[in-house]
Amino acid sequence: MPLTFDFPFEQLVDYNGINPKPADFDAFWDAGLEEMKRLDPDVQLVPADFETSFCECFDLYYTGVNQARIHAKLIKPRSSQPPHPAILMFHGYTGNAGDWLDKLGYAAQGYTVAAMDCRGQGGSPEDTGGVTGNTLHGHIIRGLDDALNGSPEKLLFRQVFLDTAQLARIVMDMPDVDAGRVGVTGGSQGGALTMACAALEPRIKRAAPVYPFLSDYKRVWEMDQARDAYKELQEYFRHFDPNHKKEDAIFEKLGYIDIQHLASRIRADVLWGIGLMDTVCPPSSQFAASNKLTARKSMEIYPDFAHENLPGFADKTFQFMLGL
């Protein structure tokens, strides 16, 4: 499978990434989880205007780290025998939790479904801010100046990753949900959040990421693919480090929110969708993460597809999750 912009396929299957992993990476995430667990999530369920004969719909609100109120759409089946499985869904960069209709297939099968709005993006949660430096454009680099000055806990995606784990805990604690039968899925940024959630909440049973974002930043930069979703990397260097004097430190700090370094924590079975023509989330950046998985995985490879709909993968994901 020759690629015109990335490694040959034969090299991808052995590629392990180049973005550095901070020496205290595991301690960093362990501390984040402890902070999250100490929070009172103050869960609130508000009945939604949308409903069907087979499910109830709610707006779910909870408190995440830094006291931000996070929103998710929640669907509960009316007739499923408890305890039943659940699915968590995560959206793409700048998006939101989407329409209720997108979740009804799982609800019709008797699953609880929760779809999170990422803080500061296209939905309704709070971004409580509190960072120094650039806040104009880009959530990868939001908090990067603080990280360079010794406070990596200010990185925005650290908070978003923890929001996913908090949502998983909330759903798993629902009396009608079987905590041992919970799956997660999402594409692009949602694929990254799928990985983060499964890594930070090890009880997740199945994970189906689609061409995940937020992986191997240095590789994306060296490929000259820091455009589209990763464009903020280029903008950061152009505005704040034009001579690249801090390049090593920048990529080392971004390593805290690089999903390849979280992959080994995942215990869930993984079904991964990837298009080998993807210039938004290049294949090598994805294989850097998938090759670090120690859990059981299946890669669904689409040689002629890019960052777009992968035909049949949504159906395969649905069937995969029916095995919960």
Residue pLDDT, tens place only, 54-84 = 999 999 999 999 999 999 999 999 988 899 9
Q: Is residue 147 part of a domain?
A: no
In order, the DSSP letters of 130-192 are ---S--SS-SSSTTHHHHHTT-GGG-HHHHHHHHHHHHHHHHHTSTTEEEEEEEEEEETHHHH
- Contact 321/87 with Cβ under 8 angstroms? yes
| Ramachandran region, residue 133 (left: φ > 0; alpha: ψ -120 to 50; beta: rest) | left
CATH number at residue 165: 3.40.50.1820
Mean pLDDT (the chain, rounded): 94
Q: Is residue 86 part of a domain?
A: yes
Q: Is residue 150 part of a domain?
A: no
pLDDT at 227: 74
Give the mean pLDDT of 257-269: 98
pLDDT at 303 over 80: yes
60 CB burial (10 A radius; 0-12, 13-18, 19+): buried
Count of domains forming the chain? 1
**How many C-beta atoms surround the C-beta of residue 88 within 10 A?**
27
pLDDT at 255: 98
The domain containing residue 298 runs over which residues?
Answer: 9-127+161-230+262-321
What digits encode the pLDDT tens for the residues 30-52? Answer: 999 999 999 999 999 999 999 89
Q: Is residue 137 part of a domain?
A: no
Q: Is residue 285 part of a domain?
A: yes
Q: Is residue 51 part of a domain?
A: yes
pLDDT at 129: 59
pLDDT at 79: 86
Give the mean pLDDT of 159-182: 98
pLDDT at 2 over 60: no
Whole-angstrom Cα distance, residue 130 to residue 138? 15
Q: Is residue 141 part of a domain?
A: no
With DSSP H G I counted as helix, E B as strand and the rest as coil, what are the percentages for the chain, rounded to 5?
A: 35, 20, 45
Whole-angstrom Cα distance, residue 258 to residue 276? 20
pLDDT at 53: 95
Q: Is residue 172 part of a domain?
A: yes
Whole-angstrom Cα distance, residue 247 to residue 308? 31
What digits encode the pLDDT tens for the residues 189-241? Answer: 999 999 999 999 999 999 999 999 999 999 999 998 877 889 999 999 999 99
pLDDT at 80: 84
pTM: 0.95
pLDDT at 108: 96
